[in-house]
Amino acid sequence: MTAIALSPAYTLSLEPYDGGIRLVVYHDGTECVCRKERPGRLRKFLEMYEAQAFRGRLQLFIQEEHIVVTVKGQAVGNTTSKALNGLLEEALL
């Protein structure tokens, strides 16, 4: 499992899951929220066809050149589309 640091306390990982992927946000190493999704939906978001991905407790938003990750309505950190795309490719191997 590879992860991206979103902030000092939060990380995001993508894990293979039953033909799809599982996006998981960890707070200080403890899983706090996850979302199961198809890779195509995440790719569509990364290609910037959509400004927001997902509804619910885990959401991703494009804000200028960053992707903001929110958990339960609170921004917990950000990353780049390049980093998230690299993580997606690793999860699909």
Question: pTM for this structure?
Answer: 0.87
pLDDT digits (tens, 9 = 90+) for 5-39: 999 999 999 998 888 899 999 999 999 999 998 88
Has residue 49 got a pLDDT over 70?
no
Domain count of the fold of the chain: 1
Rounded to an integer, the average pLDDT of 78-91 is: 89
Phi and psi at residue 82, to the nearest 5° = -65, -45
Percent of the chain past pLDDT 70, that is, above it, reads 97
Burial class (CB in 10 A: 0-12, 13-18, 19+), 34: middle
Domain that holds residue 22: 3-92
The lowest-confidence range among 13-22, 47-56, 74-83 is 47-56
